[in-house]
Amino acid sequence: MVKILQTILKKPKIFGWLLDLLRAEGASEVNRELPFAALLFTLLAASGVTIYESWKKLCNIDLLPTFKKEAKEIVRQVEVLGYDPLTVMYKRAEKTKSRNYREFLLGYVSSVRSGGNVVNYLKSKLRSIFEVQSAASIRSIERLSTLVEAYAVMLIVTLCSYILFIIFATTSVFEPMNAGGTPSLSPTTVCILIFFVTPLISIFFMAIAHVERKSNLIRVKQPYYAAVLPSAAVSCFIAVLYFVPQLQYLTSPEVFPLVVTACLLAVSIPPATVYMKIAKVNSDAENSMPSFLRDVTEARKIGLSPEKSIIHATKRTGYGRFSETLYLIRSQMEWGVSLKKVFTNIKQKVQTWPVLVNFLILVETIKIGGGSAAALETLTDYSEKQKDVDANKKSLLRPYVILAFIWSILIALTTTMVAMTIYALTQISLPGSAAMPFSVMQIQINLFSTGIILQCWLSGFFVGKVNEGTFAAGFKYSAMLVITAYVSLMLSQNFLGGMYGAVSH
């Protein structure tokens, strides 16, 4: 494994690839926000608002930060430098790294200069953008699957390294090699490889997953805050464990893996509980938003005002925890609260980005054009398409959660099996080998069991990022993987220990 790291450090192409990946993140942010910005442009244009006025509105929309920055630059060049909007849009198209955004700007400029119907162009381009986004979502899943497979290969390499370390550390077969000048693996080297190098590689994969996979949740800080106090308590406990002689028995080979498991669970369970509550509310909101918009649209078609259409749609049941937010909307609107104020209150209840953007577009459409049935129909159609894309992406990524549990069980079982087998073989009188004491085997199993539990805990954050797009979800998966690894280790050690007659003397 050390040679692998040395090879990576000697190849600048790998770091160049990472740099290109980080540079591409800006273009991916533009592509992510583009469907919603194009939808807003389309609905405002259908209500008679010019594209430049739409850009000015984007200057105040925090939910689209990339386009907010772009809008401020366009407005600055128009109002400060005196360029006309079409010229500025043409120049911005030449500078952007996003191909989709470039085509959107150039197509709009061409449509206006040729005297075409801008609204028809925007609607046509909007359909194309969502089709491209759907295809890009599939490609993103393919890249994530490749990343997960690479991570699995890394775990296999780690497992092979563990097996070699066990063989070197627990047998005397290689002593003639040491006498010949071949360096041996010291306990310090093994600890560095298990507790530093392997976690560092996992963090490397997490960094790539962070660039590739984005979450729909925004402002998710509560789970991390919930992890601060347990982390501090566990750190203090570990310090006391090593400095108080009366607690030294907790570091014995029989008990220490359980102590590590309990500490990692203590760090993971409180934030996991907080995250699951947040995820439940926002998942219900994502699933219910298209149905809510459909109810608003159908009510608008029969002649109800936009406000009464929203109130009518909030009375429907079956929205899960999202019904609490809809009840808040209905009560505030019945008391005459403005839509802008209602939307501000919604942001305090809902943290899923697509739902908030759809609400924002709904409010802007009603404020500018009265919320015509045709405009609301367009918004609803693309909200339903967005839901289908997200649901397809989640269903395709779900199997990788099962894969994480499989590799956790296999690593635990295989490492224990090799350690027990080496112990049994050393009890046989063979030339060049000496019987390994049971205490030595216990120390080795303790060391590798602790490393496996820590590795499974880190793997949970990688799986959480890949599957749900946020490291906060990793607390949930980490807790489950740690329990899975510990149970697998205990079962395998007890079963194989009885089979090989490995009992404490």
pLDDT per position as a tens digit, 159-171: 777 777 766 665 5
For the chain, what is the domain count?
A: 3
Tell me the pLDDT tens digit for each residue of 254-278: 788 888 899 999 999 999 999 999 9
- Residues 316 and 459 occupy one common structural domain: no
- Assess whether pLDDT exceeds 70 at residue 363: yes
What pLDDT does 429 receive? 52
- Residues 200 and 272 occupy one common structural domain: yes
Tell me the pLDDT tens digit for each residue of 391-401: 888 888 888 88
What pLDDT does 195 receive? 81
Q: What is the mean pLDDT of residues 346-362?
A: 87
Pick the closest to residue 168 from 148, 153, 190 (CA basis).
190
- Assess whether pLDDT exceeds 50 at residue 153: yes
What pLDDT does 268 receive? 94
- Residues 400 and 495 occupy one common structural domain: yes
What pLDDT does 21 receive? 44
Provide the mean pLDDT of the chain. 80
Tell me the pLDDT tens digit for each residue of 45-62: 887 788 888 898 888 888
What pLDDT does 1 receive? 43
3-state secondary structure of 388: helix
Alpha-helical segments (H) within 304-350: 306-314, 322-334, 339-349
Q: How far apart are CA 338 and CA 329, in angstroms?
A: 10
Q: SS3 for 398-438, per residue?
A: CHHHHHHHHHHHHHHHHHHHHHHHHHHHHCCCCCCCCCCCH
Q: How far apart are CA 303 and CA 316, in angstroms?
A: 19
Domain boundary among 351, 384, 417: 384
- Residues 265 and 287 occupy one common structural domain: no
CATH number at residue 291: 1.20.81
- Assess whether pLDDT exceeds 50 at residue 19: no
Q: Which of 4-13, 181-190, 194-203 shows the lowest mean pLDDT across its residues?
A: 4-13
What pLDDT does 481 receive? 93
Is position 476 within any domain? Answer: yes
- Residues 319 and 363 occupy one common structural domain: yes
Domain boundary among 329, 359, 384: 384
Q: What is the mean pLDDT of residues 285-303?
A: 88
- Residues 340 and 467 occupy one common structural domain: no
Pick the closest to residue 383 from 499, 276, 289, 277 (CA basis).
289
- Assess whether pLDDT exceeds 70 at residue 451: yes
Q: How far apart are CA 235 and CA 405, in angstroms?
A: 27
Report the 10 Å Cβ neighbour count for 178: 12
Amino acid at 93: A
3-state secondary structure of 352: strand
- Residues 332 and 294 occupy one common structural domain: yes
Query: Is the separation of the CB atoms in 405 and 484 below 8 Å?
Result: yes
Query: Is the separation of the CB atoms in 17 and 352 below 8 Å?
Result: no
Confidence band of 315 (pLDDT split at 50, 70, 90): confident
Domain limits for position 363: 283-384
The better pLDDT of the pair 423, 185 is held by 423
What pLDDT does 230 receive? 93
The better pLDDT of the pair 293, 7 is held by 293
3-state secondary structure of 217: strand
- Residues 273 and 175 occupy one common structural domain: yes
Q: Which of 99-103, 247-251, 331-335 shows the lowest mean pLDDT across its residues?
A: 247-251
What pLDDT does 460 receive? 92
What angle separates helix 118-170 from helix 12-46, to the nearest 10 degrees?
A: 150
Q: How far apart are CA 92 and CA 268, in angstroms?
A: 46
- Assess whether pLDDT exceeds 80 at residue 14: no
Is position 129 within any domain? Answer: no
- Residues 401 and 495 occupy one common structural domain: yes
